[in-house]
Amino acid sequence: MRLGKLSFLCAVILALPSFGVGQNLIGSPRPVPIDELTEGILQSADLRLPSNWTLAGQSRSDASSNSHTEVKIAWDVLPGAPKQIRERDVDAWKTPGSLVLQSVTRQVPGSAGRLDLSMQLTVWGVCLTAANEVCGIARQGDTRWEGAEGGAEGAFNTKIALKFWLPNVTTMTKVAVYESRATFESGTRVWSLHKVGEVNTPLTQ
């Protein structure tokens, strides 16, 4: 009788993986969400990453830090266009966007919080060193389609205020701005970064 019970228990244990039980106990890697920023996406945008820098590492550092650097940038998406236009009229404006640095405030009290890696409707601020290496990154939601005045349907905002909470790093010399873009390849959404422009961030500000 004991042998019969033991055989039954062994059969149950061997069958568990086929039901998805215990499969994560053998060290299988957790799949990366397809809608999150990765180091590979950054590198595909020709951004140089230091050997000791990772998104996870910055996120932990941001959350534990007691201060951050605040960078404000004015983004004129369509110079010459009104503040808000109909979305269907965007292609009629053939002017490239421009960025103007508004302010750089260093050692702002408070943590920047954990880095949100969502790629959907996102604008990224990437701080760069003089050697064009990434020294930090911050996310802001893309507000070009938000807050249509008067509830206008299909409205597009052309004057955007960007505010990035970046790490306090003395090596930062400029901030490059990127927007998230998605394409579909074989039915799968593939994300990439499109560079909007960059601004210098002098240490004297």
Residue 65: C-alpha distances to residues 53, 113, 114, 138, 190 (Å): 16, 8, 10, 14, 33
The total of other beta-carbon atoms located within 10 Å of residue 81's CB is 17
Contact predicate 35/191, CB 8 Å: yes
Whole-number pLDDT of residue 95: 79
Phi/psi of residue 164, each to 5°?
-115, 135
pLDDT of residue 75 exceeding 50: yes
Whole-number pLDDT of residue 128: 96
Give percent above pLDDT 70 in the chain: 79
pLDDT of residue 183 exceeding 60: yes
Confidence category of residue 202, pLDDT binned at 50, 70, 90: confident
pLDDT of residue 6 exceeding 80: no
Residue 17: C-alpha distances to residues 8, 21, 30, 36 (Å): 16, 5, 17, 29
Question: Where along the chain do its domains lie?
Answer: 2-200
Residue 201: C-alpha distances to residues 2, 104, 110, 116, 172 (Å): 76, 7, 21, 23, 7
Region 67-80: mean pLDDT is 96
